[in-house]
A and B are shown apart, each in its own frame.
Chain A
Amino acid sequence: MKQVCYNFSGQNFVVSGASSGIGRQVVLDLAAAGAVVLGLARRSEALEELRAMAPENIKTTCCDVCNKGSIETAVGAFVAEHGKVHGCVHAAGNLIATPLRSYDAVAAHSLMETHFWGGVLLLQCCTRSQYAVKGTSSVVLSSIDAKVASKSLFAYASAKAALATAVKTFAKELAPKGHRVVSVSPGWVATELTQRLSEFAGPVKEEVYPLGVGQPEDVANLILFLLSDNARWISGTDIVIDGGFLA
């Protein structure tokens, strides 16, 4: 029996990066808690599979978070059908190695586009009076890589660091309407993203994680707490969830 169960019935959320990993888990958990969730991602098959798990609560749209018009269309249609949103979660983005001496510029820029600018666009859209109730709660995924460096990951780490910093400014700008925005910095979580990371960086050194590697559910649990009223006094900050790695 879980110690904590959430009740988000009557609430609407938008989640980017919904097709896999942490984003997907957040969609599932919000839906299980009674929310209606718009899952955004680029992979239509994965989205369809996700939607089928709880079609009453999970709505999906293929969308590129780097495209402002694309986000507005998707969120606008969702709001028109289900009402204004109560928050969003930006979990979109992948991981590409960009060692300083030989990085691919297009790939490196795309990391900043998806992780950082995509997050900015999603937050901008989901906090507009037109689409959002007052007092929304939004979470973006940063990473402990923004705090502790790994070779060949400067572009990813910098994009995640940029997000965490932007969150502080947004928190101050959005507070007058009661909106909260927080970043979450996970350590190594078992997802497609880290699977890809281990392909070129080698397997994770489990011994540096006192509590072992994380699962998407672990981060989703934290995110749901942050989206809830229990976190009403948390904004403009970054929360580390890393199995004790940084300790």
Chain B
Amino acid sequence: MDTFIEQMKELLDTETELEGTTVLASIEEWDSLSFVSFLAFAATTCGKRISAEELRKAQTVNDLFVLIR
């Protein structure tokens, strides 16, 4: 999970402290660009194809982690 948090911080290019419970909507950098970046990250780095619809349901950092596990 720690690695994932680091990867998310880099992907979002944020200096905010992230935790599993962090609500995505509260992160300034969680925008349409991050959305696309996460889909690419899931496909390329994690080898998981996630649909945009599945990703839209994610509310927290934990939800993102569950998607790529």
Contacts and interface: CB of A to CB of B under 8 A. Distances in A.
A223 B31 CA distance: 31
Contacts of A176: 31
B9 to A, nearest CB: 9
A82 interface: no
A50 B14 CA distance: 35
A128 B31 contact: no
B33 A129 contact: no
A77 to B, nearest CB: 19
A122 B9 CA distance: 20
Taking each of B13, B14, B15, which has the highest tally of chain A beta carbons within 10 Å of its own beta carbon? B13
A173 B33 contact: yes
Nearest to A130: B15
Nearest to B14: A129
Interface residues of B, number: 5
A171 to B, nearest CB: 13
Contacts of B15: 129-130
Interface string B1-34: 0000000000001110000000000000001010
Nearest to A173: B33
A130 B14 CA distance: 8
Interface of A: 128-130, 173, 176
Given A129-B13, A130-B15, A173-B33, 5 more contacts: A128-B13, A129-B14, A129-B15, A130-B13, A176-B31
5 contacts: A129-B13, A129-B15, A130-B13, A130-B15, A176-B31
**Which are the 3 A-B pairs with shortest beta-carbon distances?**
A129-B15, A129-B13, A128-B13
